[in-house]
Structure 1
Amino acid sequence: MSRSLKKISMLAMVSIMALTGCASANKPAADPGKSDETEFKVSAEPVTLKFYVNVTRLSPVEYNMFFVEPLKKKYPHITLEKLEGNLEKLVLGGEMPDLIFSDNDWHMPLRILDLPADLTELVAKSKLDLNKFVPETVQAIRNLDPNGKELQGIPVTRNAGALFYNKDIFDKFGVAYPKDDMLWSDVLELSRKLTRMADGVQYIGWDPRFPDHIISPYTQPFVDPKTNKALVDIPLYRKILELFQAHYDIPGIVSGKSYAYAEDVFIKDKRLAMQADWVLKILSQLLEAEEKGGAPSWDLVTNPTFEDKKGKGRHALSDMLVITKRSEHKEQAMQVIQMITSQESQMLMSKFFRIPVLNDPEIVKAFGTESPLLKDKNLAAITKYAPTPTPTPNIYDKEVQNLIRNMRAQMALNKKDINTVLRETQEAADKKIAELMKQ
């Protein structure tokens, strides 16, 4: 979102208050004689919860398999109504979700709209045991509150980074397959061997995707919270851009306006030998292509790192369920969360290649076992590295992130040197933040 927190929050609050008739003002005051530590009793009257998928990929099949059908069995009084469209427009139009399926990387737009409720009290009342989760997934969500007090979501599944590769291209050029625990320098060397023209086809050895993907294990913020200045022109990004520059210097990588080769080139064109990315994103697309008989012969290894982060994973990325502040059915929404984080549900999701959040070796071991398309794949690479901590988010993160990603084109197409790219991007990011702060 390009508008400032103040402007959007005010607009959202005015609209919501008008639509709800300030319902909260009509609620009776709490009885001081009653304890807050009451038993978690939820009405079994039929209720419809409005459900919105924010940015996390959730196919119709997964939605039915993981949410709709289990709810019919476990809580038949709860029905989900899936909302579609732009979230801000839905909220301002009176369509307030009760539950939002999102992730911690895209939580700030929800905070800008003042949507997430603090679930601390509901967790206590429902006796949801947070100790059963992979610790990093809960911490990633706790970190979303700058004051460190609120819990604005519950982890449902998680994501991880990995290096996917096309076995056919390696076979074609007689190059050994990638291995677990590689460094980025190892990947670069493989890319030099695999980037070549053959039979009229330009093969690309590797695509590094985005600088913020490479920086992920470092827990590096986009914005300094004390100064509201971007953190771009720093030694760490210089190190990363040196890797990008070495990549662009390989003959054949930059051709005309082509310099970035994502999943289409890897999956559809089958010209890209290696791509490091978030597992669930690429895995779902690979499996979809495989079912249609059009995917490459692929496998995966651990996400590469620099030497100083060897054995460390990308930052913790938790798919999460958020209950909205203005939901009138928070207890029923918590029942949905209880169901989806149960051992039964987590085992089901794990079997169908959703990375579980429960700290249970048997559930982790079951990952992908119900998908014959994943047979004999190096699935252990996905969870071999523990996730690293996430930095505290800032409302200007996405603006800075977009500019950081644009540094690739400045180097590859405009042939700018690293010093110039870092300086100009820093200046552009600081200018953008200053403009937004005035709105």
Structure 2
Amino acid sequence: MKLKRTLVLLFVFILSISMMLSGCSTDDGDKQDDTTDSVSADTQSKDMPSTKAKTEDEQAVLTDEVTIKILYPWGQDAFDKLFKDIDEKLPNIKIELVDSQAQLAPLQELNAKQIVPDIIYANWGIDALKELDMIEPLDELIESHQFDLSGIDPSIIAYWRLVDSEGRLLGMPTASDNYTMYYNKEVFDLFGVPYPAKDLTWDAMVDLAKKLTGERDGIQYHGLEMGPGFAGTEALVPLKQLNVNLTDPKTGEVLIMKEPAVTKYLELMKKFYSIPGIYSSDPEVRKDYSFQNKNVAMIVSWPGYIKWGIGDPEIAKNVQSVPVPVWPELPNVAPASFSHPFIINKYSEHKDEAFEVLTEYVSPEHQTKLARIGDRPVLTDPKVYEEFGAELEVYDGKDISAFFSREPAIPTTISKWDQYVDLSGSLLKFSESDMNIPEFLRVLQEESEAKIKDAMAKGQ
């Protein structure tokens, strides 16, 4: 009993001492906090990382936050319009701009500085990225993330598979380049011509352009414009609908004199160019678009032309749209769509997270937001199309379905040598010369063969 009583007294004593020590520890801790708060900012910045920075680092570890760097060339404001919503939607991913260009010299400079963009906007093409071996094909990521490509414009997907010798998908599309035809109702009314139908063929377009070309009240009106001076890239639309190569993909042989589709196309263009007054005779005027000056009845161009080419809602209110004209044997076929791709960098350490960003970019929700500000959607979802231009006054009252109603041609082969056949750059000369089509093609073929031979010698 005596031993038991002694043990109880000893336990009470130890407990009392422990409580006293605990109270002292608390007091000292409060004093230590006061001391820490009194450390100057200068001393803290020199000798230790800030408490705030440490907290952010700890938070990043806790949430597994990953920063995805995206190379994009047009500044923070434009970048935010494309990616801010994604940044907010993916809590584990922070998106950061690398303000640079996907060209050889800027890419080499970034590599030298060990700046590794995870995603690269390849609006200058992919040649520099291929040379630097910076392309990560998407197929394995598509499979591992179980991503469904079927909602994306198939002509774009087909193109970016054909670019690769192994048929791999090299990039995710950004915005779709497709075509429509705008017309100015005031010009049609002035000439007393009914507005164009939605199922126009190219031959019907020739007749319509004739009726709308002429002088009224001292002003020369032009029935149709397809690119500046009726000789720009848009003038190739009828040929693009025929979906042909200008060169042999394997040998580089120039095929323009053998390909019936090229002759067929030039015969159409000859009909247009033979209309007196269809384009201005002033070479300076031919360097720019004229439709916005209200002296052109129709223009074949991109849906975005009314935004960047006109801009003024007062002019745009008299403009309407119909689907791009077609060849009779291809009654609903538009040119294949094109899109500059987002490329995942082969050297990225965060490929899965980068792919998450890209899948969110082409999601219906995000594509709808982009469509509303006039970015051309890459999805084939009609609900996304219907929202196109909804936040821009220049699109008020426009027939938006005209932009997307045609089916794009699906490319089956592409040739890297086609870039050396400058057909669009030669149209100006063709429109103003008396050369017949075989003679024109012979000259263009000789010029193209020389360029291709030089490119092959340089290993391009």
Give yes or no for TM over 0.5.
yes
Task: Please give the TM-score of this superposition, normalised by the length of structure 1.
Answer: 0.79
Give the paired residue count: 386
Aligned partners of 1:308, 1:110: CA distance in 2, in Å? 40
- How far is 1:60 from its partner? 7.0
Given that 1:97 and 1:324 are in contact with CA atoms closer than 8 Å, whether structure 2 keeps it comes out as yes
Matches within 5 A, 1:12-411: 44-52=64-72, 63-75=79-91, 77-85=93-101, 87-94=103-110, 97-102=117-122, 106-107=125-126, 110-111=129-130, 114-148=133-167, 150-209=168-227, 210=233, 211-233=235-257, 234-253=259-278, 255-258=280-283, 261=286, 264-267=289-292, 269-280=293-304, 282-286=305-309, 289-290=311-312, 293=314, 295=316, 297-400=318-421, 403-411=422-430
Identical pairs, percent? 26
Q: What is residue 24 of structure 1 aligned with on the other side?
A: none
Q: Which amino acid aligns with 2:185?
A: K
Looking at CA atoms only, which structure, 1 or 2, has the larger radius of gyration?
2
Q: Which runs of 5+ in 1 are unaligned?
A: 1-41
Sort the Cα spacing of 1:307 and 1:186 in 2 relative to 1 into closer, same or farther, 3 A.
same
- How far is 1:260 from its partner? 8.2
Partner SS, residue 291 of structure 2: helix
Given that 1:410 and 1:416 are in contact with CA atoms closer than 8 Å, whether structure 2 keeps it comes out as no
- How far is 1:262 from its partner? 7.4
Aligned partners of 1:199, 1:45: CA distance in 2, in Å? 67
Q: Which amino acid aligns with 1:72?
A: E
Instruction: Pick which of 248-257 and 175-184 moved more.
Output: 248-257
Partner SS, residue 356 of structure 1: coil
Instruction: Pick which of 386-395 and 237-246 moved more.
Output: 386-395
Aligned partners of 2:321, 2:99: CA distance in 1, in Å? 35
Q: Which amino acid aligns with 2:87?
A: L
Q: Which runs of 5+ in 2 are unaligned?
A: 1-61, 228-232
Partner SS, residue 315 of structure 1: coil
Partner SS, residue 169 of structure 2: coil
Aligned partners of 2:275, 2:284: CA distance in 1, in Å? 11
Aligned partners of 2:200, 2:282: CA distance in 1, in Å? 30
Aligned partners of 2:392, 2:331: CA distance in 1, in Å? 31
Given that 2:68 and 2:354 are in contact with CA atoms closer than 8 Å, whether structure 1 keeps it comes out as no
Q: Which amino acid aligns with 2:267?
A: E
Q: Which amino acid aligns with 2:109?
A: G
- How far is 1:254 from its partner? 5.1
Instruction: Point out the structure with the larger helix share.
Output: 2
Given that 2:104 and 2:128 are in contact with CA atoms closer than 8 Å, whether structure 1 keeps it comes out as no
1:288-313 deviations in whole A, cap 9, x for unaligned? x125x554721111111221222111
Aligned partners of 1:322, 1:398: CA distance in 2, in Å? 21
- How far is 1:90 from its partner? 0.5
Aligned partners of 2:302, 2:287: CA distance in 1, in Å? 12
Q: 1:416 aligns with which of 435, 446, 450?
A: 435
Aligned partners of 1:433, 1:246: CA distance in 2, in Å? 31
Sort the Cα spacing of 1:337 and 1:52 in 2 relative to 1 into closer, same or farther, 3 A.
same
- How far is 1:111 from its partner? 3.7
Sort the Cα spacing of 1:186 and 1:425 in 2 relative to 1 into closer, same or farther, 3 A.
same
Aligned partners of 2:158, 2:242: CA distance in 1, in Å? 16
Partner SS, residue 438 of structure 2: helix
Sort the Cα spacing of 1:152 and 1:431 in 2 relative to 1 into closer, same or farther, 3 A.
same
CA RMSD of aligned residues (A): 2.9
Aligned partners of 2:162, 2:439: CA distance in 1, in Å? 33
Instruction: Pick which of 336-345 and 88-97 moved more.
Output: 88-97
Partner SS, residue 180 of structure 2: strand
Aligned partners of 1:187, 1:177: CA distance in 2, in Å? 12
- Higher RCO (CA < 8 A, seq sep 6+): 1
Aligned partners of 2:77, 2:324: CA distance in 1, in Å? 28
